Amino acid sequence: MTLWHGLYLVWLLAGTGDFMLHRRSAIEATSGLRESSLHMVQIGLLGTGTLLWLLSPPSPALWFVLLAIVCVHALAGYWDTRVAFPVRTIVPLEQHVHSILDIAPWVALGVIGWPLLSAAPAPLNDSVGLRSGAAATSTWLFALVPALLLTVLPALLEFRRCWRSRLRAR
């Protein structure tokens, strides 16, 4: 396992920790579905970026698409905090976890950026498209299985809790 693999796992574990902190602060009774929906948007953005990275050949165009996704993710993260802050206490530990979650996409973009930006563009096609050969199966498994277990599943459980709480409140 490389340093890159370890950092990826730390990032995912930070996401798990964030969902545990949301549960501890009873998100379903405070910012509820609004905040949880924004968590789903953020995960969807980063999941889209991950799939594009796995499916597309390295190119500067791919890097710029990923940059746009990371920027929109940062805006969604800001909006998420604005929704949560007035109605839910964000304890110092959660603030530090958010620091990891906020910086990780930028670090990932920087780490993968050099190979993508230095990739020789195809003669007439410098666009984002499917790889001629998809990423190795082990890369797919390492990118997706931990993400599904450590962030997507907890996000879905949180969303379900918030949805049920909203239905009970009606």
The predicted-structure confidence for 40-78, as pLDDT tens digits, reads as follows: 999 999 999 999 989 988 888 899 999 999 999 999 999
Q: What is the mean pLDDT of residues 10-35?
A: 97
Q: Work out the mean pLDDT of the chain and round it to a whole number.
A: 90
Percent of the chain with pLDDT over 70: 90
Tell me the domain boundaries of the chain: 32-118+134-169
Q: Which residue, 79, 95, 101, is CA-closest to 35?
A: 79
Cα Rg for the chain, rounded, in angstroms?
17
Q: What is the mean pLDDT of residues 20-28?
A: 96
Give the H or E element holding residue 70.
helix 60-84
Q: How far apart are CA 20 and CA 161, in angstroms?
A: 13
Tokens at residue 74, please? 């940062």
Q: How far apart are CA 163 and CA 14, in angstroms?
A: 24
